[in-house]
Structure 1
Amino acid sequence: MKFSVFTASTPDWTPEEAVSTLAAQGWDGIEWRITDQTEATPAGFWAGNKANVPLTGLEDNLERIGRITRESGLDFSGIGGYARCDNHDDVERMLAATAALGARQVRVTTLPLGTAGWGQEGPSGTPYPVLFDSARGDFEWVAERAAHHGVKALVELHHRTITASASSARRLLEGLDPQHVGVIHDLGNLLIEGQEDYLPAFELLGDYLAHIHVKNAVWVRRDEPDASGAAVYQNEWAPLQSGQGSVLEYFKALAAFGYDGWVTVEDFSTELPLEERTAGNLGYLRRTAALAGLSTGAGVR
């Protein structure tokens, strides 16, 4: 198992600062966020992120990103792409970029629920079966194109999408080649929606379990009740050691399953300064992996 950081969670650093800092701290790899974003000051996770690589002009940035990653001694745990499965042009570009970088795997996002707003778009109102059937057709195409490029396209388990759970992702990918499509299991996202017992979920995914994201979250009671007078809770991101998800139990389940791939951290908490946060997370993950009986620093490079 090896550890990397997703640059969505390092908004204060330029790409050069990100690789130099993470390499000095002892991380094994980096997962680049690639998407067009709005500008913002100060830098934020989702807007104005200095470590973001824009999708516009991506091909012109590949040499720089590949060079600084290699020169730092870091490996690619994958690419954090945002191209949606029904946008075939952008998916094709992301698959080609992943192959060019030697990054092996890239996230391809699924469709938001018909009841969910997403980005600047409001809810579509499209029924779930229609969305699911459409995405299945898209991923049949994605699997073929990923095979063409010799890479793997990853479906992330994400709240408010058609693949919030391991069960839904397995159903979406069933019968497609697990050499070229797989699933990102995400500890933090599943605390919000889609939670299934860890080990059975890994067993259900089987060969489709391709990648792990680790962050944490808590549910916080709001001051005002709803119209019926009942309590209302909202989710917030939390540090790895203070969220509701047990990283230790998560790692124990990964050990029992025999997982030996990448674990990528995307910590969106802000209690600690960024450099202190990333250094502390690496130390915590290494200690916790050892307690869980996981071998680190082997198996995926």
Structure 2
Amino acid sequence: MKFSVFTASTPEWSPAEAASTLASQGWDGIEWRVTDQADSPQPGFWAGNLATWPMSGLEESLPELARITRAAGLEYSGLGGYARCDDHDQVDRLLAATAALGAGQVRVNVLPLGNSTMGGQAATGLPYPQLFAATREHYEWVAARAEHHGVKALVELHHGTVTSSASAARRLLEGLDPVHVGVIHDLGNLVIEGWEDPLPALELLGPYLAHIHVKNARWVRQDTRDESGAAVWQHEWAPLADGQGSVLAYFRALAGVGYDGWVTAEDFSTDLPLAERTAGNLDYLRRAASLVQPNVNASPVAT
């Protein structure tokens, strides 16, 4: 395995600071966040994030992005794009940028659920079958453009979207070329929605398993009750070793299917200062990985 950090989780560092700090801590790679974001008086994960490359003018930023990455001696585990699959112009720009950098793969977001207000957007109210069919149609176009650019477009398993589970993602991509489309399996997101036992879920993805994001989450009982008198639970991000998902069990499942590619940390917990958090995460991930025995009978997955 090789370990990288998604810069959505390093909001206090400039790109140069993120690259140099992560390299000095011993990380193998970096996954740059690429999106236009809202301003914020304080750096935050999703607004005012200093380690984010704007989508506006991205092409002009590529030489500097490449220079910073190269100077730190880091590899790309991919790009963390936010363009949605129905925004063809922005998706094509991301795919072209991925090719120009030699980053190999980039996230291309699927459509949100009809009742989702993720990202502050109003719920569309559209039914799931309609949204799923539309996402499939758009991803057929994405797959063709990814092939044109010689890169891979990644579907992330994410709560509030049409692909919260491995089963949904496999159904979405079935029949498309796994050389050019694949899935980001994400432990923390699945704690919130879409949980399936990791080993069979990874087996189900088969050749579409392309990338791993690892963060963690937990459900916390609230002080209030709903109108019926039942307990109310809310999810929150947790440190890697303190959430409800077992990273060790996750790594064992990955070994079970022969996965030995990138594992990208995106820790949105704030219990520790950022530098202490990233350094501790690398130590923990390496320690967990060292406890896992490879499955010599597994066929390596395509990554």
Letter aligned with residue 28 of structure 1: D
Aligned length: 298
Q: What is the aligned partner in structure 1 of residue 37 from structure 2? A: 37
Instruction: Say which SS state the counterpart of residue 291 (structure 2) adopts.
Output: helix
Structure 2 matches for 1:174-189, cutoff 5 A? 174-189=174-189
SS at 1:33 equivalent: strand
After TM superposition, list the pairs within 5 Å mapping 1:90-239 onto structure 2.
90-239=90-239
Amino acid at match of 1:18: A
Question: Is the Cα contact below 8 Å between 1:262 and 1:300 reproduced in 2?
Answer: no
Q: Residue in 1 aligned with 2:4?
A: 4
| Deviation of the 1:117 alpha carbon | 1.1
Q: 2:243 corresponds to which letter in structure 1?
A: G
Contact 1:163 1:169 in 2 (8 A): yes
Post-superposition Cα deviations, 1:256-276, rounded to whole Å, max 9, x if no partner, equal: 110011000000000000000
1:21-71 CA-to-partner distances (Å, cap 9, x unmatched) read 000000000000000001112100011100010001111110000111011
Q: CA RMSD in A?
A: 1.4
Distance between the aligned counterparts of 2:118 and 2:268, measured in 1?
Answer: 19
- Structure 1 residue 119: Cα displacement: 2.0
Q: Which residue of 1 aligns with 2:298?
A: none
Indicate conservation of the 8 Å contact 1:260/1:300, yes or no: no
Which residue identity is paired with 1:211? Answer: H
Q: Is the 8 A contact 2:212 2:262 kept in 1?
A: yes
Provide TM-score, normalisation by structure 1.
Answer: 0.97
SS at match of 1:292: coil
> Helix, strand or coil for the counterpart of 1:194?
coil
Task: Indicate the residue corresponding to 1:260 in structure 2.
Answer: 260
Amino acid at match of 2:7: T
Match of 1:28 in 2: 28
Q: Is the 8 A contact 1:2 1:263 kept in 2?
A: yes
Q: Is the 8 A contact 1:113 1:162 kept in 2?
A: yes
Cα separation, 1, equivalents of 2:154 and 2:111 = 14
Matched AA of 2:186: D
Shift of 1:140: 0.4
Q: Secondary structure at the match of 2:282?
A: helix
Instruction: Give the TM-score taking structure 2 as reference length.
Output: 0.97
**Counterpart contact for 2:208–2:302, Cα < 8 Å:** no
Q: Is the 8 A contact 2:256 2:294 kept in 1?
A: no
In structure 2, what is the Cα distance between the partners aligned to 1:212 and 1:78?
11
Secondary structure (helix, strand or coil) at the match of 1:211 reads strand
Q: After alignment, is 207-216 or 36-45 more displaced?
A: 36-45
Q: Which moved more, 1:117-126 or 1:176-185?
A: 117-126
Secondary structure, counterpart of 1:223 in structure 2: strand
* CA drift at 1:300: 10
State the alpha-carbon separation in 2 of the partners of residues 157 and 293 from structure 1: 26
Matching residue's letter, 1:86:
D
The structural deviation recorded for 1:294 is 5.3
Contact kept, 8 Å, 2:79 with 2:107, in 1: the verdict is yes
Distance 2:23 2:118 in 1: 34
- Give, in whole Å, the separation in 2 of the partners of 1:254 and 1:95: 27
Residue 46 of structure 1 pairs with residue 46 of structure 2:
yes
- Once the two structures are aligned, what percentage of the paired residues are identical? 70
Q: In structure 1, give the amino acid aligned to 2:248.
A: L
Distance 2:178 2:114 in 1: 28
Determine helix, strand or coil for the equivalent of 2:52.
coil
Question: 1:178, 1:112 → 2: CA distance?
Answer: 23
Structure 2 unpaired stretches of 5+: 296-300
Aligned pairs for 1:286-301 (under 5 A) are 286-293=286-293
1:183 alignment partner AA: V
User: Does the Cα contact within 8 Å between 2:184 and 2:210 map onto a contact in 1?
Assistant: yes
Contact 2:36 / 2:55 at 8 angstroms: preserved in 1? Answer: yes
**Deviant stretches of 4+, over 2 Å:** none
Q: C-alpha displacement at 1:3, in angstroms? A: 0.2
